[in-house]
Structure 1
Protein backbone atom coordinates (compact mmCIF):
# COMPACT_ATOMS: atom_id res chain seq x y z
CA UNK A 1 0.00 0.00 0.00
CA UNK A 2 1.47 3.42 -0.94
CA UNK A 3 2.62 5.14 2.19
CA UNK A 4 1.01 8.59 1.85
CA UNK A 5 -2.32 7.13 0.71
CA UNK A 6 -2.23 4.63 3.55
CA UNK A 7 -1.56 7.39 6.07
CA UNK A 8 -4.52 9.39 4.77
CA UNK A 9 -6.78 6.37 5.18
CA UNK A 10 -5.28 5.50 8.57
CA UNK A 11 -5.69 9.00 9.96
CA UNK A 12 -9.35 9.31 8.95
CA UNK A 13 -10.41 5.69 9.50
CA UNK A 14 -11.78 6.06 13.07
CA UNK A 15 -14.13 8.83 11.90
CA UNK A 16 -15.42 7.00 8.81
CA UNK A 17 -18.80 5.33 8.53
CA UNK A 18 -19.05 1.53 8.28
CA UNK A 19 -19.54 1.81 4.51
CA UNK A 20 -16.54 4.09 4.11
CA UNK A 21 -14.46 1.71 6.23
CA UNK A 22 -15.50 -1.10 3.88
CA UNK A 23 -14.22 0.96 0.95
CA UNK A 24 -11.02 1.81 2.83
CA UNK A 25 -10.39 -1.87 3.58
CA UNK A 26 -10.91 -2.82 -0.07
CA UNK A 27 -8.55 -0.14 -1.40
CA UNK A 28 -5.92 -0.98 1.22
CA UNK A 29 -6.01 -4.67 0.27
CA UNK A 30 -6.25 -4.14 -3.51
CA UNK A 31 -4.45 -0.85 -4.16
CA UNK A 32 -2.63 -2.00 -7.30
CA UNK A 33 -5.78 -3.48 -8.84
CA UNK A 34 -7.78 -0.33 -8.06
CA UNK A 35 -5.39 1.67 -10.27
CA UNK A 36 -6.80 -0.16 -13.31
CA UNK A 37 -10.46 -0.15 -12.27
CA UNK A 38 -13.27 2.29 -12.95
CA UNK A 39 -15.31 3.80 -10.15
CA UNK A 40 -18.26 1.66 -11.26
CA UNK A 41 -16.20 -1.53 -11.06
CA UNK A 42 -15.16 -0.76 -7.49
CA UNK A 43 -18.75 0.16 -6.63
CA UNK A 44 -20.00 -3.12 -8.08
CA UNK A 45 -17.43 -5.11 -6.11
CA UNK A 46 -18.62 -3.50 -2.88
CA UNK A 47 -22.33 -3.27 -3.76
CA UNK A 48 -22.44 0.49 -3.21
CA UNK A 49 -23.25 3.47 -5.42
CA UNK A 50 -20.62 5.26 -7.53
CA UNK A 51 -21.38 8.42 -5.56
CA UNK A 52 -20.47 6.62 -2.34
CA UNK A 53 -17.00 5.85 -3.71
CA UNK A 54 -16.63 9.45 -4.87
CA UNK A 55 -17.60 10.86 -1.47
CA UNK A 56 -15.14 8.49 0.25
CA UNK A 57 -12.30 9.81 -1.93
CA UNK A 58 -13.24 13.38 -0.98
CA UNK A 59 -13.33 12.50 2.71
CA UNK A 60 -9.76 11.19 2.74
CA UNK A 61 -8.40 14.23 0.90
CA UNK A 62 -8.65 13.56 -2.84
CA UNK A 63 -10.62 15.48 -5.46
CA UNK A 64 -12.29 12.30 -6.63
CA UNK A 65 -11.72 8.68 -7.66
CA UNK A 66 -9.46 9.60 -10.56
CA UNK A 67 -7.29 11.71 -8.26
CA UNK A 68 -6.98 8.75 -5.88
CA UNK A 69 -5.97 6.44 -8.75
CA UNK A 70 -3.30 8.88 -9.91
CA UNK A 71 -1.85 8.98 -6.39
CA UNK A 72 -1.84 5.18 -6.21
CA UNK A 73 -0.13 4.91 -9.59
CA UNK A 74 2.57 7.44 -8.71
CA UNK A 75 3.37 5.61 -5.51
CA UNK A 76 3.20 2.14 -7.05
CA UNK A 77 6.91 1.38 -6.75
CA UNK A 78 8.65 3.45 -4.11
CA UNK A 79 12.35 3.96 -4.59
CA UNK A 80 14.42 1.66 -2.39
CA UNK A 81 16.62 3.69 -0.08
CA UNK A 82 19.36 3.02 2.42
CA UNK A 83 16.76 3.26 5.17
CA UNK A 84 14.49 0.42 4.04
CA UNK A 85 16.25 -2.74 5.18
CA UNK A 86 19.22 -3.73 7.28
CA UNK A 87 21.47 -6.32 5.69
CA UNK A 88 23.95 -8.72 7.25
CA UNK A 89 26.50 -7.25 4.83
CA UNK A 90 26.10 -3.74 6.25
CA UNK A 91 28.93 -2.32 8.31
CA UNK A 92 28.34 -0.91 11.79
CA UNK A 93 28.04 2.71 10.73
CA UNK A 94 25.62 1.90 7.89
CA UNK A 95 23.38 0.04 10.33
CA UNK A 96 23.51 3.02 12.69
CA UNK A 97 22.52 5.31 9.80
CA UNK A 98 19.57 3.09 8.93
CA UNK A 99 18.36 2.98 12.52
CA UNK A 100 18.50 6.77 12.77
CA UNK A 101 16.77 7.26 9.44
CA UNK A 102 14.08 4.76 10.41
CA UNK A 103 13.41 6.78 13.54
CA UNK A 104 13.27 10.00 11.53
CA UNK A 105 10.84 8.44 9.05
CA UNK A 106 8.66 7.14 11.88
CA UNK A 107 8.42 10.64 13.35
CA UNK A 108 7.63 12.20 9.97
CA UNK A 109 4.94 9.61 9.25
CA UNK A 110 3.40 10.00 12.69
CA UNK A 111 3.28 13.77 12.31
CA UNK A 112 1.09 13.34 9.20
CA UNK A 113 -1.41 11.34 11.29
CA UNK A 114 -1.80 14.00 13.97
CA UNK A 115 -4.57 16.53 13.47
CA UNK A 116 -5.28 19.89 15.04
CA UNK A 117 -8.68 18.77 16.28
CA UNK A 118 -7.46 15.56 17.92
CA UNK A 119 -4.53 17.25 19.66
CA UNK A 120 -6.76 20.07 20.91
CA UNK A 121 -9.31 17.61 22.31
CA UNK A 122 -6.54 15.56 23.98
CA UNK A 123 -4.87 18.62 25.55
CA UNK A 124 -8.18 20.01 26.81
CA UNK A 125 -9.06 16.64 28.34
CA UNK A 126 -5.71 16.51 30.14
CA UNK A 127 -6.10 20.10 31.28
CA UNK A 128 -9.60 19.49 32.62
CA UNK A 129 -8.52 16.45 34.63
CA UNK A 130 -7.35 16.51 38.24
CA UNK A 131 -5.09 13.46 37.99
CA UNK A 132 -3.32 11.76 35.07
CA UNK A 133 -2.62 8.02 34.97
CA UNK A 134 -0.37 6.27 32.44
CA UNK A 135 -0.94 2.61 31.58
CA UNK A 136 1.04 0.19 29.40
CA UNK A 137 2.33 -3.38 29.55
CA UNK A 138 5.62 -4.88 28.38
CA UNK A 139 7.54 -2.39 26.25
CA UNK A 140 4.66 0.06 26.58
CA UNK A 141 5.16 0.09 30.35
CA UNK A 142 8.48 1.87 29.79
CA UNK A 143 6.68 4.52 27.73
CA UNK A 144 4.07 4.89 30.47
CA UNK A 145 6.81 5.42 33.05
CA UNK A 146 8.39 8.05 30.80
CA UNK A 147 5.01 9.82 30.69
CA UNK A 148 4.83 9.71 34.49
CA UNK A 149 8.42 11.02 34.73
CA UNK A 150 7.53 14.00 32.55
CA UNK A 151 4.06 14.82 33.82
CA UNK A 152 5.10 14.89 37.47
CA UNK A 153 6.64 18.23 36.48
CA UNK A 154 3.19 19.65 35.66
CA UNK A 155 0.62 20.99 38.09
CA UNK A 156 -1.34 17.72 37.75
CA UNK A 157 -0.61 14.70 39.98
CA UNK A 158 0.61 11.88 37.71
CA UNK A 159 0.79 8.14 38.32
CA UNK A 160 2.14 4.98 36.64
CA UNK A 161 2.77 1.41 37.74
CA UNK A 162 4.91 -1.31 36.17
CA UNK A 163 2.98 -4.27 37.63
CA UNK A 164 -0.12 -5.18 35.59
CA UNK A 165 -2.19 -5.97 38.69
CA UNK A 166 -1.32 -2.61 40.22
CA UNK A 167 -2.41 -0.97 36.96
CA UNK A 168 -5.74 -2.79 36.95
CA UNK A 169 -6.38 -2.00 40.62
CA UNK A 170 -5.57 1.68 40.14
CA UNK A 171 -7.79 1.82 37.04
CA UNK A 172 -10.71 0.57 39.15
CA UNK A 173 -10.22 3.48 41.54
CA UNK A 174 -10.34 6.26 38.95
CA UNK A 175 -13.11 8.85 38.91
CA UNK A 176 -14.69 11.25 36.44
CA UNK A 177 -12.02 13.77 37.45
CA UNK A 178 -9.21 11.50 36.21
CA UNK A 179 -7.80 10.73 32.78
CA UNK A 180 -6.13 7.49 31.72
CA UNK A 181 -3.49 7.47 28.97
CA UNK A 182 -3.34 3.93 27.54
CA UNK A 183 -0.27 3.00 25.48
CA UNK A 184 -0.32 -0.06 23.21
CA UNK A 185 1.39 -0.44 19.85
CA UNK A 186 -0.94 -3.20 18.60
CA UNK A 187 -3.99 -1.89 20.42
CA UNK A 188 -5.25 -5.43 21.02
CA UNK A 189 -3.47 -6.66 24.15
CA UNK A 190 -6.23 -8.22 26.27
CA UNK A 191 -4.80 -7.12 29.62
CA UNK A 192 -4.33 -3.55 28.40
CA UNK A 193 -7.87 -3.56 27.00
CA UNK A 194 -9.17 -4.71 30.37
CA UNK A 195 -7.37 -1.79 32.04
CA UNK A 196 -8.93 0.61 29.52
CA UNK A 197 -12.44 -0.75 30.02
CA UNK A 198 -12.02 -0.69 33.82
CA UNK A 199 -10.96 2.97 33.67
CA UNK A 200 -13.96 3.82 31.48
CA UNK A 201 -16.36 1.96 33.77
CA UNK A 202 -14.96 3.96 36.69
CA UNK A 203 -15.89 7.15 34.82
CA UNK A 204 -12.45 8.34 33.72
CA UNK A 205 -11.73 9.88 30.33
CA UNK A 206 -9.35 7.77 28.20
CA UNK A 207 -6.65 8.57 25.63
CA UNK A 208 -5.16 5.76 23.54
CA UNK A 209 -1.74 5.97 21.88
CA UNK A 210 -1.54 3.17 19.30
CA UNK A 211 -0.55 2.36 15.71
CA UNK A 212 -3.74 0.59 14.65
CA UNK A 213 -6.94 2.64 14.24
CA UNK A 214 -9.18 -0.45 13.98
CA UNK A 215 -7.83 -2.12 17.11
CA UNK A 216 -10.12 -2.62 20.14
CA UNK A 217 -8.17 -0.14 22.26
CA UNK A 218 -8.25 2.53 19.53
CA UNK A 219 -11.98 2.19 18.91
CA UNK A 220 -12.99 2.05 22.57
CA UNK A 221 -10.89 4.96 23.87
CA UNK A 222 -12.48 8.41 24.04
CA UNK A 223 -9.53 9.95 22.19
CA UNK A 224 -7.06 8.12 19.92
CA UNK A 225 -3.62 9.41 18.91
CA UNK A 226 -2.09 7.33 16.13
CA UNK A 227 1.57 6.51 15.57
CA UNK A 228 3.09 5.17 12.36
CA UNK A 229 6.01 2.76 12.02
CA UNK A 230 7.32 0.18 9.59
CA UNK A 231 8.75 -3.25 10.28
CA UNK A 232 12.06 -4.57 8.91
CA UNK A 233 13.77 -7.93 9.41
CA UNK A 234 15.84 -6.72 12.36
CA UNK A 235 13.59 -3.97 13.67
CA UNK A 236 10.00 -4.62 14.68
CA UNK A 237 7.17 -2.12 14.27
CA UNK A 238 6.80 -1.96 18.04
CA UNK A 239 10.45 -0.96 18.44
CA UNK A 240 10.13 1.85 15.89
CA UNK A 241 6.78 3.04 17.25
CA UNK A 242 8.40 3.63 20.66
CA UNK A 243 10.04 6.78 19.26
CA UNK A 244 6.68 8.07 18.02
CA UNK A 245 4.95 7.25 21.30
CA UNK A 246 7.58 9.15 23.28
CA UNK A 247 7.24 12.13 20.94
CA UNK A 248 3.45 12.23 21.30
CA UNK A 249 3.82 12.19 25.08
CA UNK A 250 6.41 14.98 24.79
CA UNK A 251 3.96 17.03 22.72
CA UNK A 252 1.18 16.49 25.26
CA UNK A 253 3.51 17.41 28.12
CA UNK A 254 4.80 20.63 26.56
CA UNK A 255 1.27 21.71 25.61
CA UNK A 256 0.05 21.18 29.16
CA UNK A 257 3.04 23.07 30.57
CA UNK A 258 2.30 26.02 28.27
CA UNK A 259 -1.37 26.07 29.27
CA UNK A 260 -0.47 26.13 32.96
CA UNK A 261 2.82 28.02 32.82
CA UNK A 262 2.68 29.76 36.20
CA UNK A 263 1.63 26.69 38.22
CA UNK A 264 3.95 24.37 36.29
CA UNK A 265 6.91 26.70 36.77
CA UNK A 266 6.43 26.48 40.53
CA UNK A 267 6.33 22.68 40.44
CA UNK A 268 9.39 22.59 38.17
CA UNK A 269 11.37 24.88 40.45
CA UNK A 270 10.54 22.72 43.48
CA UNK A 271 11.66 19.57 41.64
CA UNK A 272 14.88 21.18 40.47
CA UNK A 273 15.60 22.44 43.98
CA UNK A 274 15.10 18.94 45.42
CA UNK A 275 17.26 17.27 42.78
CA UNK A 276 20.01 19.87 43.14
CA UNK A 277 20.60 18.67 46.71
CA UNK A 278 21.68 15.26 45.36
CA UNK A 279 24.45 16.79 43.26
CA UNK A 280 27.90 17.78 44.44
Structure 2
Protein backbone atom coordinates (compact mmCIF):
# COMPACT_ATOMS: atom_id res chain seq x y z
CA UNK A 1 0.00 0.00 0.00
CA UNK A 2 1.51 3.36 -1.04
CA UNK A 3 1.94 6.08 1.53
CA UNK A 4 -0.96 8.52 1.74
CA UNK A 5 0.35 12.10 1.88
CA UNK A 6 -2.71 13.90 3.28
CA UNK A 7 -3.34 11.08 5.73
CA UNK A 8 0.26 11.17 6.94
CA UNK A 9 0.00 14.91 7.50
CA UNK A 10 -3.27 14.66 9.43
CA UNK A 11 -2.07 11.82 11.64
CA UNK A 12 1.18 13.58 12.57
CA UNK A 13 -0.20 17.12 12.80
CA UNK A 14 -0.14 17.18 16.60
CA UNK A 15 3.61 16.40 16.57
CA UNK A 16 4.64 19.16 14.16
CA UNK A 17 6.65 22.22 15.07
CA UNK A 18 5.21 25.64 14.20
CA UNK A 19 7.12 25.71 10.90
CA UNK A 20 5.97 22.21 10.04
CA UNK A 21 2.35 23.13 10.81
CA UNK A 22 2.76 26.07 8.45
CA UNK A 23 3.78 23.68 5.66
CA UNK A 24 1.07 21.17 6.63
CA UNK A 25 -1.66 23.83 6.51
CA UNK A 26 -0.42 24.97 3.10
CA UNK A 27 -0.61 21.43 1.67
CA UNK A 28 -3.96 20.56 3.29
CA UNK A 29 -5.57 23.77 2.07
CA UNK A 30 -4.02 23.90 -1.43
CA UNK A 31 -3.10 20.35 -2.55
CA UNK A 32 -3.96 21.11 -6.20
CA UNK A 33 -1.53 24.04 -6.15
CA UNK A 34 1.30 22.17 -4.43
CA UNK A 35 1.57 19.44 -7.09
CA UNK A 36 2.45 22.10 -9.68
CA UNK A 37 4.99 23.90 -7.48
CA UNK A 38 8.70 23.36 -7.07
CA UNK A 39 10.22 23.06 -3.62
CA UNK A 40 11.68 26.56 -4.08
CA UNK A 41 8.27 28.04 -4.89
CA UNK A 42 6.62 26.39 -1.88
CA UNK A 43 9.43 27.59 0.38
CA UNK A 44 9.14 31.13 -1.01
CA UNK A 45 5.35 31.15 -0.53
CA UNK A 46 5.82 30.21 3.12
CA UNK A 47 8.93 32.33 3.68
CA UNK A 48 10.86 29.22 4.74
CA UNK A 49 14.11 27.59 3.66
CA UNK A 50 14.05 24.88 0.99
CA UNK A 51 15.69 22.54 3.49
CA UNK A 52 12.79 22.99 5.91
CA UNK A 53 10.28 21.88 3.27
CA UNK A 54 12.53 18.96 2.30
CA UNK A 55 12.86 17.83 5.94
CA UNK A 56 9.07 18.03 6.30
CA UNK A 57 8.68 15.61 3.36
CA UNK A 58 11.10 13.23 5.06
CA UNK A 59 9.35 13.62 8.41
CA UNK A 60 6.04 12.33 7.07
CA UNK A 61 7.68 9.30 5.43
CA UNK A 62 8.75 10.30 1.92
CA UNK A 63 12.24 10.24 0.37
CA UNK A 64 11.90 13.87 -0.57
CA UNK A 65 9.65 16.65 -1.84
CA UNK A 66 9.24 15.14 -5.31
CA UNK A 67 8.13 11.78 -3.92
CA UNK A 68 5.63 13.56 -1.70
CA UNK A 69 4.26 15.49 -4.71
CA UNK A 70 3.79 12.30 -6.71
CA UNK A 71 1.80 10.72 -3.89
CA UNK A 72 -0.24 13.90 -3.44
CA UNK A 73 -1.02 14.10 -7.17
CA UNK A 74 -2.27 10.52 -7.13
CA UNK A 75 -4.54 11.23 -4.16
CA UNK A 76 -6.23 14.32 -5.52
CA UNK A 77 -6.60 13.00 -9.09
CA UNK A 78 -8.29 9.71 -8.09
CA UNK A 79 -11.48 11.30 -6.67
CA UNK A 80 -11.82 13.37 -9.87
CA UNK A 81 -11.72 10.22 -11.97
CA UNK A 82 -14.32 8.56 -9.74
CA UNK A 83 -16.72 11.50 -9.93
CA UNK A 84 -16.42 11.53 -13.73
CA UNK A 85 -17.26 7.84 -13.84
CA UNK A 86 -20.16 8.28 -11.47
CA UNK A 87 -21.86 10.89 -13.65
CA UNK A 88 -22.34 8.29 -16.40
CA UNK A 89 -26.07 7.52 -16.13
CA UNK A 90 -25.61 4.36 -18.18
CA UNK A 91 -23.75 2.67 -15.36
CA UNK A 92 -25.34 -0.55 -14.34
CA UNK A 93 -26.16 -1.48 -10.76
CA UNK A 94 -23.03 -3.61 -10.41
CA UNK A 95 -20.76 -0.79 -11.52
CA UNK A 96 -22.39 1.67 -9.13
CA UNK A 97 -22.14 -0.79 -6.27
CA UNK A 98 -18.46 -1.37 -6.99
CA UNK A 99 -17.80 2.39 -6.93
CA UNK A 100 -19.41 2.81 -3.53
CA UNK A 101 -17.47 -0.14 -2.13
CA UNK A 102 -14.23 1.15 -3.66
CA UNK A 103 -14.76 4.56 -2.10
CA UNK A 104 -15.36 3.08 1.35
CA UNK A 105 -12.42 0.69 1.03
CA UNK A 106 -10.18 3.62 0.18
CA UNK A 107 -11.38 5.50 3.26
CA UNK A 108 -10.46 2.47 5.40
CA UNK A 109 -7.05 2.10 3.76
CA UNK A 110 -6.26 5.78 4.27
CA UNK A 111 -7.42 5.59 7.89
CA UNK A 112 -5.04 2.70 8.58
CA UNK A 113 -2.16 4.81 7.33
CA UNK A 114 -3.27 7.75 9.48
CA UNK A 115 -3.43 5.81 12.74
CA UNK A 116 -0.79 6.66 15.32
CA UNK A 117 -0.05 3.63 17.51
CA UNK A 118 1.06 5.79 20.43
CA UNK A 119 -2.22 7.71 20.36
CA UNK A 120 -4.21 4.48 20.16
CA UNK A 121 -2.34 3.19 23.23
CA UNK A 122 -3.01 6.46 25.07
CA UNK A 123 -6.70 6.18 24.24
CA UNK A 124 -6.83 2.57 25.48
CA UNK A 125 -5.15 3.59 28.75
CA UNK A 126 -7.64 6.42 29.32
CA UNK A 127 -10.60 4.11 28.70
CA UNK A 128 -9.28 1.41 31.05
CA UNK A 129 -8.49 3.94 33.79
CA UNK A 130 -11.82 5.78 33.61
CA UNK A 131 -14.45 5.23 36.29
CA UNK A 132 -17.09 5.74 33.62
CA UNK A 133 -17.07 6.61 29.93
CA UNK A 134 -19.56 8.90 28.22
CA UNK A 135 -19.90 9.10 24.45
CA UNK A 136 -21.02 12.23 22.63
CA UNK A 137 -22.10 12.82 19.05
CA UNK A 138 -24.95 14.53 17.26
CA UNK A 139 -26.63 14.20 13.86
CA UNK A 140 -25.13 11.43 11.74
CA UNK A 141 -22.45 10.85 14.38
CA UNK A 142 -25.11 9.67 16.83
CA UNK A 143 -25.34 6.43 14.81
CA UNK A 144 -21.67 5.74 15.48
CA UNK A 145 -22.08 6.73 19.14
CA UNK A 146 -24.82 4.17 19.76
CA UNK A 147 -22.84 1.47 17.96
CA UNK A 148 -19.82 2.33 20.10
CA UNK A 149 -21.91 2.28 23.28
CA UNK A 150 -23.04 -1.30 22.68
CA UNK A 151 -19.51 -2.44 21.94
CA UNK A 152 -17.99 -0.73 24.99
CA UNK A 153 -20.62 -2.24 27.27
CA UNK A 154 -19.96 -5.66 25.74
CA UNK A 155 -16.28 -5.31 26.62
CA UNK A 156 -17.14 -4.60 30.26
CA UNK A 157 -16.61 -0.83 30.12
CA UNK A 158 -19.02 1.30 32.19
CA UNK A 159 -20.27 3.48 29.36
CA UNK A 160 -23.36 5.55 28.60
CA UNK A 161 -24.64 7.89 25.92
CA UNK A 162 -27.60 10.22 25.38
CA UNK A 163 -29.02 11.31 22.04
CA UNK A 164 -30.76 14.41 23.41
CA UNK A 165 -28.36 17.37 23.57
CA UNK A 166 -29.92 18.74 26.77
CA UNK A 167 -29.39 15.42 28.53
CA UNK A 168 -25.85 15.35 27.14
CA UNK A 169 -25.13 18.74 28.68
CA UNK A 170 -26.65 17.78 32.03
CA UNK A 171 -24.74 14.52 32.19
CA UNK A 172 -21.50 16.16 31.05
CA UNK A 173 -21.67 18.65 33.92
CA UNK A 174 -21.67 15.73 36.40
CA UNK A 175 -18.44 14.17 35.13
CA UNK A 176 -15.40 14.12 37.43
CA UNK A 177 -11.65 13.92 37.02
CA UNK A 178 -11.96 10.13 37.17
CA UNK A 179 -14.24 10.00 34.12
CA UNK A 180 -13.71 10.06 30.36
CA UNK A 181 -15.67 11.69 27.55
CA UNK A 182 -15.34 10.50 23.96
CA UNK A 183 -16.43 12.89 21.20
CA UNK A 184 -17.25 11.48 17.76
CA UNK A 185 -17.62 14.03 14.98
CA UNK A 186 -16.77 13.99 11.28
CA UNK A 187 -16.00 17.72 11.06
CA UNK A 188 -14.84 18.17 14.63
CA UNK A 189 -16.62 21.52 14.70
CA UNK A 190 -20.26 20.68 15.45
CA UNK A 191 -21.68 23.52 17.59
CA UNK A 192 -23.58 21.26 20.01
CA UNK A 193 -20.54 19.04 20.49
CA UNK A 194 -18.32 22.07 21.14
CA UNK A 195 -20.68 23.33 23.85
CA UNK A 196 -20.57 19.95 25.57
CA UNK A 197 -16.78 19.75 25.21
CA UNK A 198 -16.49 23.09 27.00
CA UNK A 199 -18.62 21.76 29.86
CA UNK A 200 -16.58 18.55 30.08
CA UNK A 201 -13.27 20.40 30.11
CA UNK A 202 -14.47 22.47 33.05
CA UNK A 203 -15.07 19.27 35.05
CA UNK A 204 -11.49 18.07 34.57
CA UNK A 205 -12.60 14.80 32.96
CA UNK A 206 -10.25 13.27 30.38
CA UNK A 207 -11.26 13.53 26.73
CA UNK A 208 -10.81 11.67 23.43
CA UNK A 209 -11.83 12.98 20.02
CA UNK A 210 -12.49 10.94 16.88
CA UNK A 211 -12.71 13.26 13.87
CA UNK A 212 -11.58 13.64 10.27
CA UNK A 213 -9.90 17.00 10.86
CA UNK A 214 -6.75 17.44 12.99
CA UNK A 215 -7.20 21.22 12.89
CA UNK A 216 -10.78 21.14 14.19
CA UNK A 217 -11.75 22.68 17.53
CA UNK A 218 -12.51 19.28 19.02
CA UNK A 219 -9.18 17.80 17.89
CA UNK A 220 -7.24 20.70 19.37
CA UNK A 221 -9.05 20.66 22.73
CA UNK A 222 -9.07 16.99 23.77
CA UNK A 223 -6.40 14.94 25.52
CA UNK A 224 -6.13 12.38 22.71
CA UNK A 225 -7.11 12.98 19.09
CA UNK A 226 -7.74 10.08 16.72
CA UNK A 227 -8.42 10.60 13.03
CA UNK A 228 -10.27 8.79 10.26
CA UNK A 229 -10.30 9.49 6.55
CA UNK A 230 -13.37 9.80 4.33
CA UNK A 231 -14.24 9.66 0.65
CA UNK A 232 -16.95 11.83 -0.88
CA UNK A 233 -18.93 10.51 -3.87
CA UNK A 234 -21.70 11.94 -6.01
CA UNK A 235 -24.24 9.82 -4.14
CA UNK A 236 -23.12 10.16 -0.54
CA UNK A 237 -21.41 12.98 1.31
CA UNK A 238 -18.10 12.49 3.12
CA UNK A 239 -19.65 11.58 6.52
CA UNK A 240 -20.99 8.34 5.01
CA UNK A 241 -17.54 6.79 4.50
CA UNK A 242 -16.33 8.59 7.62
CA UNK A 243 -18.92 6.68 9.69
CA UNK A 244 -17.65 3.39 8.32
CA UNK A 245 -14.05 4.29 9.16
CA UNK A 246 -15.06 5.44 12.66
CA UNK A 247 -16.98 2.21 13.32
CA UNK A 248 -13.97 0.15 12.24
CA UNK A 249 -11.67 2.20 14.45
CA UNK A 250 -13.97 1.63 17.42
CA UNK A 251 -14.05 -2.09 16.61
CA UNK A 252 -10.25 -2.13 16.77
CA UNK A 253 -10.23 -0.22 20.06
CA UNK A 254 -12.73 -2.63 21.64
CA UNK A 255 -10.72 -5.62 20.46
CA UNK A 256 -7.61 -4.12 22.08
CA UNK A 257 -9.57 -3.43 25.27
CA UNK A 258 -10.54 -7.09 25.49
CA UNK A 259 -6.96 -8.13 24.79
CA UNK A 260 -5.64 -5.79 27.49
CA UNK A 261 -8.07 -7.20 30.07
CA UNK A 262 -7.08 -10.78 29.25
CA UNK A 263 -3.38 -10.03 29.67
CA UNK A 264 -3.77 -8.17 33.00
Q: Do both share a fold (TM > 0.5)?
A: yes
Query: Which has the higher mean CA deviation after the structures are superposed, 27-36 or 150-159?
Result: 27-36
The Cα shift of 1:236 comes to: 0.5
Partner SS for 1:155: coil
Unaligned runs of 5+ in 1: 264-280
Q: Deviations over 1:193-240 (max 9, x none)?
A: 111221121111111111111111111111111111111121110111
The Cα shift of 1:152 comes to: 1.1
The Cα shift of 1:120 comes to: 0.8
Q: Deviations over 1:59-107 (max 9, x none)?
A: 2112333443454466674494699636433233332222222222221
In structure 2, the partner of 1:227 is: 228
The Cα shift of 1:27 comes to: 2.9
In structure 2, the partner of 1:17 is: 17
The Cα shift of 1:192 comes to: 0.3
In structure 2, the partner of 1:245 is: 246
Give aligned pairs, total. 262
Written as runs of structure 1 = structure 2, the 5 A alignment for 1:13-92 is 13-31=13-31, 33-35=33-35, 37-72=37-72, 77-78=77-78, 80=81, 85=86, 87-92=88-93
Question: Residue 202 in 1 paired to residue 203 in 2?
Answer: yes
Instruction: Quote the RMSD (CA, aligned, Å).
Output: 2.6
Going from structure 1 to structure 2, the CA distance change for 1:220 and 1:57 (only over 3 Å counts) comes to same
Question: Residue 172 in 1 paired to residue 190 in 2?
Answer: no
The Cα shift of 1:41 comes to: 2.9
8 Å contact 1:130–1:178 — kept in the other structure?
A: yes
Going from structure 1 to structure 2, the CA distance change for 1:141 and 1:59 (only over 3 Å counts) comes to same
Q: Structure 1 CA distance, aligned partners of 2:85 and 2:12?
A: 26
Going from structure 1 to structure 2, the CA distance change for 1:64 and 1:199 (only over 3 Å counts) comes to same
Of structures 1 and 2, the one scoring higher in RCO (CA 8 A, sep 6+) is 2
Q: Which has the larger radius of gyration?
A: 1
Written as runs of structure 1 = structure 2, the 5 A alignment for 1:84-233 is 85=86, 87-233=88-234
Q: Deviations over 1:150-173 (max 9, x none)?
A: 111233211011111111111111
Going from structure 1 to structure 2, the CA distance change for 1:89 and 1:122 (only over 3 Å counts) comes to same
Q: Structure 1 CA distance, aligned partners of 2:66 and 2:88?
A: 38
Going from structure 1 to structure 2, the CA distance change for 1:85 and 1:113 (only over 3 Å counts) comes to farther
Query: Which has the higher mean CA deviation after the structures are superposed, 220-229 or 53-62?
Result: 53-62
TM-score norm. by structure 1 comes to 0.84
Q: Structure 1 CA distance, aligned partners of 2:73 and 2:93?
A: 36
8 Å contact 1:143–1:245 — kept in the other structure?
A: yes
Q: Structure 2 CA distance, aligned partners of 1:16 and 1:195?
A: 28
Partner SS for 1:176: coil
8 Å contact 1:183–1:208 — kept in the other structure?
A: yes
TM-score norm. by structure 2 comes to 0.88
Q: Structure 1 CA distance, aligned partners of 2:86 and 2:105?
A: 15
